[in-house]
Amino acid sequence: MSVNETATYYMVEMDYPHETAAQRETFDAYYWRHIDMLLTIPGFMTAQRFHCADTDRAPFLALYRLSGPEVLTSEAYMSKAGRMSVHPDFREYISDWDRNLVQGSADGGEKGGEEGGGAAKDGPDLATAMDDTLVLIDRLTPEAAPLADGIAALDVIGLDRTIAQRGVVVDRTAAVPAPREGWAVRVWQPIHAVRIPA
The H or E element containing residue 176 is: none
Q: CA neighbours within 13 Å on the CB side: how many for 127?
A: 14
Share of the chain above pLDDT 70, in %: 88
Inter-residue contact 173 to 3 (CB < 8 Å):
no
Domain range list for the chain? 8-190
Question: What is Dmax (Cα atoms) for the chain?
Answer: 51
Q: Check residue 87 and give its pLDDT.
A: 84
CATH of 8-190, one of 3.90.1150.10, 3.90.1820.10, 3.40.50.450, 3.30.70.100: 3.30.70.100
Number of neighbours of residue 77 by Cβ within 10 angstroms: 20
The H or E element containing residue 189 is: strand 183-190
Q: Is 103 helix (H, G, I), strand (E, B) or coil?
A: strand
Question: In sequence order, which residues have a C-beta less than 8 Å from that of residue 126 and are 6 or more positions away?
Answer: 1, 7, 9, 48, 63, 65, 134, 168
| Rounded CA separation 84/120 (Å) | 38
Decide which of 26 and 122 is more confident. Answer: 26
Name the residue among 157, 12, 162 with its Cα closest to residue 82. Answer: 12
Inter-residue contact 60 to 14 (CB < 8 Å):
yes
Inter-residue contact 141 to 45 (CB < 8 Å):
no
Q: Check residue 176 and give its pLDDT.
A: 93
Q: Check residue 172 and give its pLDDT.
A: 81
Tell me the per-residue pLDDT of 100-157, one tens digit each, with 9 for 90 and over.
999 997 454 554 333 333 333 457 889 999 999 999 999 999 999 999 988 999 999 9
User: What residues are paired with 124 via a beta bridge?
Assistant: 3
Instruction: Please indicate, yes or no, whether the overall pTM of this predicted structure exceeds 0.75.
Output: yes
Tell me the per-residue pLDDT of 108-124, one tens digit each, with 9 for 90 and over.
455 433 333 333 345 78
Inter-residue contact 6 to 108 (CB < 8 Å):
no
| Rounded CA separation 19/1 (Å) | 33
